[in-house]
Amino acid sequence: MRQVPVAARLALAGLITAVALAVALWPRGGDDTSVDGAQIHPSAPVPEQLRAAAGLAPCPRPAADAVGHGPLAGITLSCLADGKPVDVAAALAGKPALLNLWAYWCGPCAEELPYLQEYAQRAGNAITVLTVHSDPDEARGLALLADLKVTLPGVLDASTRVRNAVGVPAVLPVSVLLRADGSVAKAIVRPFDGVEDIADTVANELGVAA
């Protein structure tokens, strides 16, 4: 077997080192989320400090004898506040609900979320307002909510099960108004432009005044 000249071997070793260094320093293009200096990948478990920073309200929990009905029956999602599973239809049973489908990358969603929080505060216990982050990147969703200071209860819908179940278009934001029996009263395929818009729409479709 012929031996590779020493100069050639050294040149090859230098090329490998240069490529390795370039790969190590190559920018990731913003695919990760930074939290307290740590890089969070979409597939990694969400750190507890990120959940704590968001400070979200707990997700609604089903009553002991609650049974979910309607198109969301059988759908269990992860609660953004604590990562625990939520039977969505059962948790919402017995009260009108507004489900807001959004994602961290959606500009109109970021404008709309604070309106939804203000509306929920006005409406009180008359209606459940639940956000549905329709993207697998939970860390970026929580980071945006923390930035917006929106603390509404929310669930993670990484595979868009809610959207598919209610049959709405693949656009965001979408708000789904549910009757107390779990049936869909109306899907609002546009962003709300203010708190009064939300209040008027809910009053007209669900009869809930706020």
User: Tens digit of pLDDT for each residue in 49-62?
Assistant: 999 999 999 999 98
Residue range 34-44: average pLDDT? 42
Residue range 159-174: average pLDDT? 97
Residue range 184-198: average pLDDT? 97
Lowest mean pLDDT among 17-31, 98-112, 174-188, 189-203: 17-31
Reference 131, options 164, 102, 91; nearest CA is 102
Confidence band of 44 (pLDDT split at 50, 70, 90): low
Confidence band of 41 (pLDDT split at 50, 70, 90): very low
Q: What domains can you pick out in the chain, each with its CATH number?
A: 47-206 (3.40.30.10)
Q: DSSP secondary-structure letter at 125? A: G
Cα distance between residue 85 and residue 61, in whole Å: 10
Residue range 181-208: average pLDDT? 97
